[in-house]
A and B are shown apart, each in its own frame.
Chain A
């Protein structure tokens, strides 16, 4: 299978099954069916134990007022936690902060990532080397990255402000990226974008490379302008790839914890307190386990719901 139909493996689930022979074929030794189950079972058991069982437990916990650091048993309190969550203004603000973060980092990643992919596709000398260099940030541990960016952003001792000052003439100590209410939300967008733009770039590059030559040659024959070619050939064919990248990155940004926790701790104040940070504080600092479980369940549902809708849209785009 080459790359032309590549996105189908993820979203067109049936393709995976269509090519396999029937299970119940008897050959020498263990039957195929037995082997299939033997091979798949351990994985399933592990996933059930570590993913599904805790999820069910969390749902159960979300209906109690349990505080995990006290020895008292859990009291059933019905939907109180959910009501608390849905009527909490501060929490609603956190969701807005998260939405702002997700939207802007995705927007920037798409623009810069696609742009870089288009440029790299010019295949200038050394482009694969520089591609690898650009890819490095996304492979690093977000927590470690978040931590060392705090040094880079220090107004007095960090290079970032000085570089900005050098190029724009603004005094380095006159602004602080992670300490100011106005700039902090953009700072987390900036660092996350720095980290993950290569991801979008790589996927767009694959998309660009999957467009066969003859389509462009045909367009040339029809005397389509470069812009026209981009608009009606490149963009539509890259779109499924781009949408896939956006799906992964949106989920990743929505649940982001490591990077922001170490970069700003949700501060100043609660200006960059993403929902994941609120959850961590409720669960592991205030030990409001019941409440935190309810919030966790709400997050699961949100992500699954949104991803489902999105995948349907992606399938629709692929049909076009």
Chain B
């Protein structure tokens, strides 16, 4: 391979140029702008549309930084930790609130709300507690509820309506084929559909979250465990977990989730979260799908499985109650931002009732009572009634500053048992209590 002198000098020049480019600082764009940070999904695209109104009204350009869910927490928590000014506004996950408050990542909004007459009473209480408050259940607000979300279920209405299937089901289980209302029914219906040939394809009963890396399987399993007796700690005695996290009911809940995974999950989906569920449902692979309500507007409009073919139901209940895992995020102002005043202006604009309504219309999910509790909303979409009801029964994961190790430990223990068949559910939960005690000790709390 012979290279002429000229080529070598050209390469040298290219390299020097590269080094210079790297060393040069990036120029700031002219004119006012705000950078909004969130996760990359359908509602984020809706936000881009919504923000055009803000730009029209105020002349401030809205830039968006969206990161995929699998790296959303890693990426932004890193950013916030290093006090970067990259984001002015951030729609952060409900879990981050503890860390954000204690490490002063966000600006506390109480004064701002008072001055601008923004009342938290206009939002659903669960969203205020979940997306804005730290410590929980105290009036200290670090965000404005922006995206109300929880886990719900979709099902193939057209399959449930097929007469042959209805007859077969009735004969077998002595009741009508309807969307399940309890987890026992959910398992029955799932098993019923698994293995059948519908529209020329082998189908499976249900799709549930199994993702290992970030939060997927935890966000799924809690929907079973909450309803069988699992809770995070004794409400009377903070950080007292023994006997509550690893109660017999909690173990049973995990067993139920594992049963659903083993019998009815499509093959290969052992590390799957939101998108794979959508793919499985849209391609006609499953009869029922667990996913976030945030995706339901898109599904309802889907050309393959939307319209009349799709139905929605709330997370089924269990022996001890009916809860659904809370999702959703709140809008916060990053303390390290260089455009705090403009960012607050955006918050004020976003909180307006008209904007909240348009937000929902475009595909977001406002947490405002005025929007969600209106009659118009209930009739606006097939998932609306169950969504409103679900937002009344939500429960959230830890939002402690050290929530990440807590979450990772649960991801580890749950995935080990549910997917990798390691040990028993009781053993997994006992180990989890040990893990969590260790984390809380590091935080300086007194766990038991």
Contacts and interface: CB of A to CB of B under 8 A. Distances in A.
The answer on direct contact between A and B (beta carbons under 8 Å) is yes
A285 B408 contact: yes
Given A271-B420, A286-B404, A154 B268 contact: yes
B267 A176 contact: yes
Contact of A173 (B103, B267, B271, B404): B267
B267 A179 contact: yes
Contact of B271 (A158, A174, A267): A267
A159 to B, nearest CB: 13
Given A173-B267, A285-B408, A67 B442 contact: yes
A266 interface: yes
A54 interface: no
B116 to A, nearest CB: 32
A267 to B, nearest CB: 5
Interface in A266-281: 266-271, 281
A181 B271 CA distance: 12
B445 interface: no
B110 interface: no
B213 interface: yes
B405 A270 contact: no
B266 A266 contact: no
B269 interface: yes
Contact of A156 (B81, B213, B268, B270): B268
A137 B276 CA distance: 28
A265 interface: yes
Interface residues of A, number: 30
B400 to A, nearest CB: 12
Contacts of A269: 212, 412, 415-417, 419-422
A155 B285 CA distance: 13
Given A67-B442, A69-B81, A173-B202, A267 B404 contact: no
Contacts of B158: none
A181 B418 CA distance: 11
Interface in B50-89: 74, 77, 81
B271 A268 contact: yes
Contacts, number: 76
B108 to A, nearest CB: 18
Contact of A155 (B267, B408, B412, B442): B267
Interface string A175-189: 110111100000000
A268 B422 CA distance: 10
Contacts of B416: 269-270
Interface string B312-337: 00000000000000000000000000
A269 to B, nearest CB: 3
A286 B268 contact: no
Contacts of A153: 268
B408 A286 contact: yes
A285 B404 contact: yes
Contacts of B267: 155-156, 173-176, 179
Interface in A56-85: 67, 69, 71
Contacts of A286: 404-405, 408
Given A69-B81, A281-B408, A285-B408, A267 B266 contact: no
B408 A179 contact: no
Given A265-B213, A269-B419, A179 B442 contact: no
Nearest to B202: A173
Interface in B187-208: 202
A258 to B, nearest CB: 15
A53 B436 CA distance: 35
A84 to B, nearest CB: 10
A269 B418 CA distance: 8
A265 B210 CA distance: 12
A267 B269 contact: no
Given A265-B213, A286-B408, A179 B271 contact: yes
Nearest to B81: A69
Contact of B412 (A71, A156, A270, A288): A270
Nearest to B213: A265
Contacts of A180: 270
11 contacts: A71-B103, A155-B268, A173-B202, A173-B268, A174-B267, A179-B271, A267-B420, A268-B419, A285-B404, A285-B408, A286-B405
Given A69-B81, A173-B268, A284-B74, 9 more contacts: A153-B268, A154-B268, A156-B285, A266-B212, A267-B415, A268-B270, A281-B408, A285-B405, A287-B405
